[in-house]
Amino acid sequence: MKYNFDEIIDRQNTNAMSLGGYRNYLFGGSDAFDSDYAEADLIPMWIADMEFASPPAVIRAVKERADHGVFGYSQIFDPSYKEAFLNWSKHYYDWKFNPDHLVTSQGVIPALFSLVKYICAFDEKVLIMTPSYAFFKLATEGSGRELITSDLVYTDGDYTIDFEDFQRKAEDEKVTLTIFCNPHNPTGRIWKEDELRRFGEICLENNVMIISDEIHCDLLRTENTFTPLSRLFPLSDKIITCMAPSKTFNMAGFMIANIIIPNRELLALWQRTEVPIVNPLSIVAAQAAYSHGHDWLEQLRKYLDGNFEFLRCYLAEHLPNAIFKTPEATYLAWVNLGAYLPEEEDLTLFFANKAGVLLEGDTMFVANGAGHIRLNLACPRARLEQGLGRMVKAIQALKS
Ligand SMILES: Cc1ncc(COP(=O)(O)O)c(C=O)c1O
């Protein structure tokens, strides 16, 4: 390996959300968090960022831009940024979009909050699939729109879309938007082409606009490939695609995401309303990642494959009744520990208090997640082993 993903990088005193933001995000500031472990010993496996350094090309580009010394208002004018991302899309997803439809945002989350307001009138509804990334709910309800959910179906190790249920809900004429996640957080599914076609057709036939959140689309197990929903519906202007370098290259703090809006009116509304300023360091960082990040990403994917295999073997040996299948994508493991922990147990709190492991339990994923935890595996293997060891011990102590 050219890059050392085993290196443990100390993130103390860097204002990292993973170390400083958990009390608020995981426990809402409640007193129930009272860990047996000292604060410095907590192992963060919750928020979806990585414990790895970004690719050297990104670090170099930021240093060079920093050396320039002038950091005035910036916006993306130079076509080379769009070219770099277009080349990336062509290379990895065989997808070519119109560069005029590409805008940037400070993140997919801010884009979701804006788009829900732009697309849905006050009395209209947003349809999502559950379990779900919590911000789909927050962006909807935070904007005063009603949320409708359709549970994914779990059979034989795989989650699938309940198309009958989804269609019935999409037929409600007040449902005008769906926020779709592909690859899916938290289950890790990459939706197949026939699933994407059927889903897209239901939405388009029922005038439901789609935000396709594809932020995890580069983080695939090494044998997999990814199909952007929009590639299958090239003539439709009803699909907004959200992608970003943030997950792929561990640069979420740069706050830059790519939003592709083919609908003319919506694009014009976005351009009239959103602040177009982009952090100058973020522009060069993202461009360097898309231009020079290929071999780093290939190696990262191999390392993550190894972490998932490690988890699979560890669970088989120590918690054989855990239900887990290596996800097709993302660095997030979705594990059903219902066989070991009573239903009423708050899983986030249990593992934080008893194992000193910060992870996200079922209640953080809107609905349809009972008994599950989501564990972030984008960390050095030694850290993963330590976290799993503590979790197993905590479960064993509970049993005895
Ligand atoms: C599905 C999904 N969308 C969006 C985000 C966050 O996006 P951003 O950091 O660009 O706001 C995450 C982060 O975990 C995510 O999992």
- Please state, in angstroms and rounded to a whole number, the distance separating the CA atoms of residues 31 and 60: 43
Q: Taking the CB of residue 228, how many other CB atoms lie within 10 A of it?
A: 22
**Alpha-carbon distance 393 to 30, whole Å?**
25
109 lines ligand 1 (CB under 6 A): yes
Q: What confidence category does residue 285 fall into, taking pLDDT thresholds of 50, 70 and 90?
A: very high
Mean pLDDT of 338-347: 92
For the chain, list the strands marked E by DSSP. Answer: 43-44, 102-105, 125-130, 146-151, 153-155, 158-160, 175-181, 209-213, 239-243, 257-260, 332-336, 357-358, 360-361, 372-376
- Tens of pLDDT, residue by residue over 86-110, are 999 999 999 999 999 999 999 999 9
Q: Does ligand 1 come within 6 angstroms of the Cβ of 337?
A: no
108 C-beta closer than 6 A to ligand 1: yes
Residues 179/139, Cβ–Cβ less than 8 Å: yes
Taking the centre of ligand 1 as the mean of its atom positions, its distance from the CA of residue 107, in whole angstroms, is: 7
Number of CB atoms found within 10 A of residue 92's CB: 17
Ligand 1 mean position, distance from CA 108 (Å): 6
Rounded-to-integer distance, Cα 44 and Cα 22, Å: 9
Mean pLDDT of 282-293: 98
Helix, strand, coil percent content, the chain, rounded in steps of 5? 45, 15, 40
Q: Are 338 and 395 in contact (CB under 8 A)?
A: no
- Check if 257 has its Cβ closer than 6 Å to any atom of ligand 1: yes
**Mean pLDDT, the chain, integer:** 97
**Can you tell me the mean pLDDT for 159-164?**
98
Q: Is 48 in the pocket of ligand 1 (CB under 6 A)?
A: yes
Question: Which tokens is 135 given?
Answer: 């911000």
What domains sit in the chain, N to C, each tagged with a CATH number?
17-55+295-399 (3.90.1150.10), 71-292 (3.40.640.10)
Judged against a pLDDT cut of 80, whether residue 78 lies above it is answered with: yes
Q: Does residue 154 contact residue 104 with C-beta atoms inside 8 Å?
A: no
**Peptide bond preceding 262 in cis form (omega within 30 of 0):** no
pTM over 0.95: yes
pLDDT for 31:
86
CA–CA distance, 24 with 371 (Å, rounded to integer): 22
Ligand 1 centre to CA of 220 (Å) is 16
Tell me what pLDDT residue 30 has: 84
pLDDT at 394: 97
Q: How far is the CA of 340 from the centre of ligand 1 (A)?
A: 30
Query: Is 18's C-beta closer than 6 angstroms to any atom of ligand 1?
Result: no
State what percent of residues in the chain have pLDDT above 90: 96
Res 258: pLDDT:
98
Task: List alpha helices for 47-184, DSSP H.
Answer: 56-68, 79-93, 108-119, 134-141, 163-170
What mean pLDDT do residues 320-333 have? 98
In whole angstroms, give the CA distance from residue 107 to residue 184: 18
Q: What is the mean pLDDT of residues 227-251?
A: 98
Pocket flag, ligand 1, residue 252 (CB < 6 Å): yes
Top-confidence residue, 7 or 157: 7
Using the predicted structure, report yes or no on whether residue 212 has a pLDDT greater than 90: yes
pLDDT band at 1 (very low <50, low <70, confident <90, very high): confident
Mutating to test ligand 1, I would choose from 215, 242, 243, 251 the residue with most ligand atoms within 8 A of its C-beta, which is 215
Is ligand 1 within 6 A of the CB of residue 51?
A: no
When pLDDT is cut at 50, 70 and 90, the band that residue 344 belongs to is: confident
Q: In the 8-state DSSP scheme, what is residue 151?
A: E
Is ligand 1 within 6 A of the CB of residue 395?
A: no
Q: What is the pLDDT of residue 349?
A: 96
Per the CB < 8 A criterion, the answer to whether 246 and 107 are in contact is yes
